[in-house]
Structure 1
Amino acid sequence: MLRDRVSDLEYQMHTSEQYSRRNNVRIFGDPESSDSNECFHDVVINLCKTIGADVSLHEIDRLHRTGKRGGRKPRPKIVKYPNYRARQKMFT
């Protein structure tokens, strides 16, 4: 009984996490600055303009790099949009 409940809660948590990630976009290959307070909102907005996506700064919820510093490749960026429609602007 308790094991079934734990399994059910783990499944619900996994589903919820997957659903929340659908508003994210990962960006690879952007060089890292040596500045620890790197700010790249303008870089992402310019990237959006370059690909023809009409995304403004207020449509970005969070923006940060993932992973450990100091690797051979620049760490990817995660752009979290507040909703799925804002994210879809990147692809239409």
Structure 2
Amino acid sequence: MSLKIQTSNVTNKNDPKSINSRVFIGNLNTAVVKKSDVETIYSKYGCVAGCSVYKGYAFVQYANERHARAAVLGENERVLFPTKISHYS
């Protein structure tokens, strides 16, 4: 049995170390993607200290800058749960 630690919702600290450890996730289908999904995907890069999900975007706060950089490199241009687009003839 694994123990899931709840991360903070705080990702907006203004200290320089914190800013450099934050990752922005844009164009996010938040109708489908939940905070727990974002945490699961991004936790493989390091200790997630905080996660905030808003309509269409999210922020992940890491414990250090190295983990944030790894997440950016690993997830850049990845599409998470794309919105289905219908085409009519």
Superposition TM-score, scaled by structure 1 size: 0.47
Higher helix share: 1
Higher strand share: 2
